[in-house]
Amino acid sequence: KFDRTPLIAGNWKMNMDHVQAITLLQKLEWTLSDARHDFSRVEVAVFPPFTDLRGVQTLVQGDDLKVAYGGQDLSQHDSGAYTGDISGQFLARLGCRYVLVGHSERRTIHGETDEVLNAKVQAAYRHGLVPVLCVGEGLEVRQAGNHVQHTLAQVRADLEGLPADQVDRLVIAYEPVWAIGTGEVAGPADAQEMCAAIRAEIAALYGDGVAAGVRLLYGGSVKAANAAAILNERDVDGVLVGGASLDVAEFANIVRFEH
């Protein structure tokens, strides 16, 4: 089914200091290399805290056929008086391939609006980073049956003004907020429904060719036990894993979902 390379991504959130990060990543690389994992067939990426990225870079040493990595956020600005913020330029210099944009924890805890997230998506592209744009509805919106409409409105607002040649490398993660860290997982059919709707929206905005290239991930309480069924859905091209990405054996089993 995969005409797009599946992407299995781990969001470590605010876990793992720079020493723990090295241990975790080394174990992951050993586990996957023991299993003769083919990184060109199923791509693997991790999103460690900013302070871990230099160590991760040293460990991975820019080898394209290994674990890719990225930041969990970036500033919409390139440099200047923005205390505590991290420029996409810095992430690119550290060998990041990806950057998360608009994770629900950023939207809710840090009040990031679609306007800010649109600027962050543009900042990511300015520095050659591929944004992994996170979208998805909360429980009330889901219960009211407005989840598709709500999520597509986020997609439109966050991508506003982007040219088609940027959008075709984009990754979008559908993460229903009610399923994040709750043990509550959307069913494969729910993941497929939303990913198909997002792909149709991208096709309407940018054409079928672009829509066929965009990778769409599902995120929300993904574990080895439920990953394969979700990944078998036609429009789901990968998963974004929070809690389970901190457990090497569990995460490696998600990466090896076909086995």
- How many residues contact ligand PEP, by CB under 6 A? 13
Q: Provide the residue count of the chain.
A: 259
Could you tell me the end-to-end alpha-carbon distance of the chain, in angstroms, rounded to an integer? 15
Region of 84 (left: φ > 0; alpha: ψ -120 to 50; beta: rest) is left
Q: Is 243 annotated as a binding residue?
A: yes
Judge whether 103 counts as a catalytic residue.
Answer: yes
The helix/strand/coil state of 145 is coil
Q: Is 221 annotated as a binding residue?
A: yes
Instruction: Determine which one of 29, 37, 103, 233 is catalytic.
Output: 103
Task: Give min distance, CB of 93 to ligand PEP, in A.
Answer: 25
Task: Give min distance, CB of 78 to ligand PEP, in A.
Answer: 26
Residues 220-259 touching ligand PEP, rule: CB under 6 A, are 220-222, 240-244
Task: Give min distance, CB of 11 to ligand PEP, in A.
Answer: 4
Cβ-proximal residues to 28 (8 Å cutoff; 6+ apart), any chain: 44, 46, 67, 248, 251, 252
Chain centroid offset of residue 58 CA: 22
Q: Which is nearer to ligand PEP, 166 or 219 (CB)?
A: 219
Task: Give min distance, CB of 12 to ligand PEP, in A.
Answer: 9
Tokens standing for residue 100: 């998360």
66 by Cβ neighbours in 10 Å (0-12 / 13-18 / 19+) ranks as middle
Q: Which is nearer to ligand PEP, 118 or 226 (CB)?
A: 226
Q: Is 207 annotated as a binding residue?
A: no
**Cα distance between residue 117 and residue 73, in whole Å:** 10
Residues 8-27 touching ligand PEP, rule: CB under 6 A, are 11
Q: Which is nearer to ligand PEP, 75 or 221 (CB)?
A: 221
Q: Is 88 annotated as a binding residue?
A: no
Q: Is residue 192 within 8 Å of residue 235, measured between CB atoms?
A: yes
Q: Give me the residue whose beta carbon is nearest to ligand PEP.
A: 242
Q: Is 11 annotated as a binding residue?
A: yes
Residue 44's H or E segment, with its range, is strand 43-47
Positions touching ligand PEP (CB under 6 A) are: 11, 175, 180-181, 219-222, 240-244
Q: Would you list which residues are annotated within the binding site for substrate?
A: 11-13, 181, 221, 242-243
